[in-house]
Amino acid sequence: MPDEEWFKTLKDGRKVKFIYQELMEDAAFITAQLAGNEVVYSVLLTKARNPLSHEDVESHFKGELSKR
pTM for the full predicted model:
0.88
Strands of the 40-45 sheet, one edge to the other = 3-9, 15-23, 27-34, 40-45
CA distance 61 to 56: 10
Read off the pLDDT band of 1 (50, 70, 90).
very low
Q: Residue 27: give the domain boundaries.
A: 3-66
Mean pLDDT of 36-48: 91
> Given a cut of 60, is residue 49 above it in pLDDT?
yes
**What is the rounded distance in angstroms from the CA atom of residue 33 to the CA atom of residue 18?**
7
Q: How many domains does the chain have?
A: 1
Helix (H), strand (E) at residue 40: strand 40-45
Summarised one tens digit per residue, pLDDT across range 3-40 is 899 999 999 999 999 999 999 888 999 999 999 888 89
Determine the average pLDDT of the residues in 34-63.
92
Q: List Cα–Cα distances, 45 to 23, 50, 55, in angstroms.
A: 9, 10, 15
Please report the pLDDT score of residue 55 as a whole number: 95
